[in-house]
Amino acid sequence: MSVQEKDEYTHSAGGHEVTVGIFDSGIGGLGVLHEAVCALPQARFLFYADRAHVPYGERSEREILSYAEEITAFLRERGCAAIVIACNTATSVAAEALREHYRGEGLPIIGMEPAVKPALEWEPEGPVLVIATPVTVREHKLQALLERLDATHRVHVHPMPELVRFAEGERFEDPAVEAYLAEELMPYVEAGIQSVVLGCTHFNYFVPQLRALFGPGVRLFDGNDGTVRHLAALLGLQAESEPDGRFRESAFDQTRITCFDSGVEITDPAELAFFSRLHARFAQTRQ
Ligand code: DGL
């Protein structure tokens, strides 16, 4: 990156207290960005979607680690004071290594993990379902979390890789999504599960279909809100909330958000309009 380019990113934090980098394999991380943009009006954001390499959930640990390292260095170079891994899969594989690497520089690395704890607390006796990518399901991190929290083995874990493909293919309302959800999840619906953890940020795009399948009593848990509260606490920032505790809704403001697609800044108005529409969609489906 040229010195001039670097200056441009660093100085454009001016007017805002801090620049935060948020990354995901693709558009799933826009749900985390949405919460962060609403919660932290004093921050500006660099959002990096690694769409050239999505889906991470079906790649090797080595590949995922190398992408996460490259992206973190990219965001760091552009002046980010904290990095949010808006991806459960990349967190499982790379968060520890990244924290170790950046410890000396004091760069906070905020990861995500499936919101098992609130789900178990909300459902004090019955079963809980966690859906995630194949990598998250098999990684040690989730297994260790379940060993710690789920002594009575109430948690069922199910990989749903196709949901990532549907989201990236922008097939949000496709009947094939409903068919896939029914095929994979009907046994859990029939078992009366009412507590479902969205262990992949791409799955938030299918909240309406999941509600329709499990019925009106279902409670869906994601880690977006908790991740942003953690980010705010680490940066010593006050999160802007409504009286009901939700973050105050805020538009997709391009003076505060710069987006990258696998290292290339997104400037195409049609693509930015698409991201802006997804941002608005999260306003309607947030938990
Ligand atoms: N959005 C990511 C997650 O939260 C991963 C999706 C993928 O690339 O497989 O796990």
Q: Dig out the tokens for 31 from the structure.
A: 């749900």
| Annotation says 200 is catalytic | yes
Q: Are residues 28 and 92 in the same domain?
A: yes
pLDDT exceeds cutoff 70 at 21: yes
pLDDT digits (tens, 9 = 90+) for 266-282: 999 999 999 999 999 99
* Total structural domains within the chain: 2
Ligand 1 site, residue 159, Cβ cutoff 6 A? no
> Nearest CA to 83 among 116, 34, 31, 36?
36
Domain carrying residue 40: 3-112+224-285
Q: Are residues 24 and 64 in the same domain?
A: yes
Ligand 1 site, residue 114, Cβ cutoff 6 A? no
pLDDT digits (tens, 9 = 90+) for 54-65: 999 999 999 999
Query: Is the preceding omega at residue 55 within 30 degrees of 0, hence cis?
Result: yes
Q: Which pLDDT score is estimated for 13?
A: 54
Q: Are residues 122 and 211 in the same domain?
A: yes
pTM: 0.94
How do beta strands 82-85 and 43-49 pair? unpaired
Q: Are residues 104 and 242 in the same domain?
A: yes
Ligand 1 site, residue 92, Cβ cutoff 6 A? no
Q: Average pLDDT over the chain, rounded to whole?
A: 93
Q: Which regions of 7-93 does DSSP assign to beta strands (E)?
A: 18-24, 43-49, 82-85
| Annotation says 87 is catalytic | yes
Any idea what the CATH number is for the domain that residue 211 is in?
A: 3.40.50.1860
Q: Are residues 52 and 33 in the same domain?
A: yes
Ligand 1 site, residue 54, Cβ cutoff 6 A? yes
Q: Are residues 278 and 234 in the same domain?
A: yes
Q: Which pLDDT score is estimated for 242?
A: 83
Residue range 45-53: mean pLDDT, rounded? 98
Ligand 1 site, residue 71, Cβ cutoff 6 A? no
Q: Are residues 106 and 234 in the same domain?
A: yes
Reported confidence tier of residue 123, pLDDT bands at 50, 70, 90: confident
CA of 159 to the centre of ligand 1 (A): 11
Q: Which pLDDT score is estimated for 155?
A: 98
Residue from 47, 84, 89 to probe ligand 1 pocket by mutation (most atoms less than 8 Å from CB): 89
CA of 238 to the centre of ligand 1 (A): 28
Handedness of CA 38, 39, 41, 43 (dihedral sign): negative
